[in-house]
Copies of this chain bind each other. A is one copy, B any other.
Amino acid sequence: MATQSPRVLTIGIDFGGTNLRVAAYQPEKGVLDSIALATRLHAGPQAVVEDMCDAVLRLLEKHAHVGELAGIGVGSPGPLELPAGRLHHPPNLPGWDGFHLLGEMEKRLRLPIAVESDANVAALAEYTLGLGKELGVDSLCMLTLGTGVGNGIILDGKLWHGSTGMGGEAGHMTIEPDGALCGCGNNGCLEACASATALVNAAELLVATGKAPGLAKLKNGDARLTALTIAEAARLGDKAALALYVKTGTSLGVGLAGLINIFNLPLYVVGGGVAESWDLLSPSLFEELERRSYVYSLTAPGRAASAAMPGGGTRVMRARLGPEAGLLGACILPLYQARSNASEPIGIATRVH
């Protein structure tokens, strides 16, 4: 009988501006158990860290017997300085500027902790358990179209951090130099053009100025429209709603065309709530790619220079994992980091799952 490798356990924390989710995970079984809490932002960073650590300890108490703890992974809003694990003016966490998230957690838990931006852990999950695994590629760039536009980049099996951990902010590349104001202070960022927030803002403006009577009818009192409601209206033939998705696809296409020209990767993954309406945004997205990226036009599946590429060419696809990507990514982060510290990229043969 072959020797079994010892079973391991991890704890993953999906730390969002609104919700906090903490899960116990085993590679063989997936998520064993999880705790969901509201993020007590009003109570300050120390209180939130206390909530996270309490949840970790509760899960460990219950599940520590199933395997050796490989570590605790945290997906946090950014910008996050690495390896320090310190936040810098995070737009969705007022009062957290300069907060040493990693250090404060280590002080309380005295356990191995790995911190990454939320977009990076989502990309890691998609790479290890989603499309990356499915296509057998060793590099990908993921964009998550949600409240903002998150970005995680994996090159040759490793998360790309840059010098201070702040790489992978393609959500803030400029798409329209004189476009809408972004939370970062710039105008016309991808985030200001193609996030769920941007889509809803544009729809609300049309409603307020009487230019979208169909969408106006869908409004439920004072509540704001959602990306999903707008998509439903578009599918039922509302032209204003469809135009908003076409515009989102166009902006996303401008950004992705740039990223394809810069990186020439085999896989670009689009996740987040807006990507759930892939049918509505992808036609204009691919139109922009053909026009604005000659690297894409040479390397798309079936084209002149695509044959030697893993996955058969430059793929631009909707994410597989959905809203669980962030929590799953946090859960597998300690396993990734252990390999990374050993200078071993997560290759196709050594994936953590």
Chain A interface (Cβ within 8 Å of chain B)? 79, 81, 84, 86, 88-89, 98, 139, 151, 153, 155, 160-170, 172-177, 184-186, 189, 254, 257-259, 261-266, 291-295, 298-299, 304-306, 308-310, 314
A264 to B262, CA, bound (A): 14
A304 to B86, CA, bound (A): 11
In the complex, chain B residues whose CB is within 8 Å of the CB of A266: 163
A247 to chain B, nearest CB (A): 11
Residue of B nearest to A251 (CB): B177
Given A291-B185, A294-B172, A305-B88, A264 and B164 contact (CB-CB distance below 8 Å): yes
Given A257-B174, A294-B185, A295-B166, A264 and B161 contact (CB-CB distance below 8 Å): yes
A130 to B88, CA, bound (A): 32
Q: What is the oligomeric copy number?
A: 2
20 more CB-based (< 8 A) A-B contacts, given A174-B175, A186-B257: A88-B298, A88-B305, A98-B304, A151-B262, A153-B262, A155-B155, A163-B264, A163-B265, A163-B299, A163-B308, A164-B308, A169-B295, A172-B258, A172-B292, A172-B293, A172-B295, A173-B261, A174-B258, A258-B258, A259-B262
Complex contact A304–B169 (CB within 8 A)? no
In the complex, chain B residues whose CB is within 8 Å of the CB of A79: 294-295, 298
A284 to chain B, nearest CB (A): 12
In the complex, chain B residues whose CB is within 8 Å of the CB of A304: 88, 98
A291 to B292, CA, bound (A): 25
Kindly identify which residue among B139, B177, B257 contacts A176, using a CB–CB cutoff of 8 Å. Answer: B177
In the complex, chain B residues whose CB is within 8 Å of the CB of A258: 170, 172-174, 258
Kindly identify which residue among B86, B160, B177 contacts A254, using a CB–CB cutoff of 8 Å. Answer: B177
A-B contact pairs, 7 of them (CB 8 A): A79-B294, A86-B305, A161-B264, A167-B263, A173-B173, A175-B177, A258-B258
Residue of B nearest to A262 (CB): B170
Complex contact B265–A162 (CB within 8 A)? yes
Complex contact A186–B292 (CB within 8 A)? yes
A292 to B89, CA, bound (A): 15
In the complex, chain B residues whose CB is within 8 Å of the CB of A257: 173-174, 186
In the complex, chain B residues whose CB is within 8 Å of the CB of A175: 174, 177
Complex contact B262–A169 (CB within 8 A)? yes
Given A298-B79, A310-B163, A168 and B305 contact (CB-CB distance below 8 Å): no
In the complex, chain B residues whose CB is within 8 Å of the CB of A166: 264, 295, 298-299, 305
A60 to chain B, nearest CB (A): 32
Residue of B nearest to A259 (CB): B262
A74 to chain B, nearest CB (A): 19
In the complex, chain B residues whose CB is within 8 Å of the CB of A170: 258, 261-262
Complex contact A292–B162 (CB within 8 A)? no
Interface hub of A168, A173, A254, A259 (most chain B Cβ within 10 A): A173
